[in-house]
Amino acid sequence: MESEEMTEHGVDVVAIDGPSGSGKGTISRLLANKLGWHFLDSGALYRLVGLAARRHSINFDDEQGLATLAAHLDVEFVSDDEGNETRIFLEGEEVTDGIRSEDCGNDASKVAAVQSVRDALFERQRAFLHAPGLIADGRDMGTVVFPDARLKIFLTASLEERASRRYKQLKEKGMDANLSALLDELALRDERDRNRSAAPLVAAKDAVTIDTSDLGIEQVVAEVYALWQRVSD
Ligand code: C5P
């Protein structure tokens, strides 16, 4: 059932959206490896805009300043030979781990609510579209950035499970973490992401929703992979 309308300019896209801690990042990366495809971590772009705004003392209510910053963001994503680890550089400085902090996540969700920032990042995200395919991870991959993606997945999980996953992730990276503070921060970020007028976090009408609360990573990867095989046959 290969058709141009079901691919993005002939390149297959799997859009994986969902709230923080739903497992999107890990699952998207594993799938990209399994399929030998490219990977877009769109959340990293919003985190980078937030970090750059802080560094250049641009106020989060200065929409024009944020949009200009987003349009000219000097970033580099560098993958290792196996495509496993991506190192991220902002203005020449490595920020791979730095942008993963909860503070950066919160800043990201503030700048992400500004429509002109989203517009400025649109083409940059589309530029990740290269053969043989793209796994696009974010909040609006299936609704706005890649509306013709062949497969759209919306991952969810309970707030408690997502906070506990995020807690483990931060601890593994040797970063400070407090579970009850994380619960509050994630709840606040979810609310901001879901209720903003610019590309709110919502499942695309044609997305398959998977609740990952009680599923292991490998189970979710297997399920998405099976869905992909079904639609691509
Ligand atoms: O996925 P991650 O936690 O890195 O995203 C950080 C923030 O960036 C999210 O809370 C959300 O506000 C914003 N974001 C977005 N659209 C995307 C990806 C991320 O608004 N496609």
Tens of pLDDT along the chain (233 residues) come to 444 445 666 889 999 999 988 999 999 999 999 999 999 999 999 999 999 999 999 999 999 999 999 999 999 999 876 666 789 999 999 999 999 888 999 999 999 999 999 999 999 999 999 999 999 999 999 999 999 999 999 999 999 999 999 899 888 888 888 999 999 999 998 999 999 999 999 999 999 999 999 999 999 999 999 999 999 98
To test the ligand 1 pocket, which listed residue (77, 139, 173, 190) has its Cβ within 8 A of the most ligand atoms? Answer: 139
Architecture of domain 12-232: 3-Layer(aba) Sandwich (3.40)
Place of tokens 């399929």: 35
Task: Give the domain ranges of the chain.
Answer: 12-232
**Ligand 1, atom 19: closest residue by C-alpha:** 43
Q: Is 109 in the pocket of ligand 1 (CB under 6 A)?
A: yes
> Helix 179-195 to helix 102-111 angle, to the nearest 10 degrees?
10
Q: Does pTM top 0.75 for this prediction?
A: yes
* Residue 88 near ligand 1, beta carbon < 6 Å: no
Ligand 1 geometric centre to CA of 20 (Å): 8
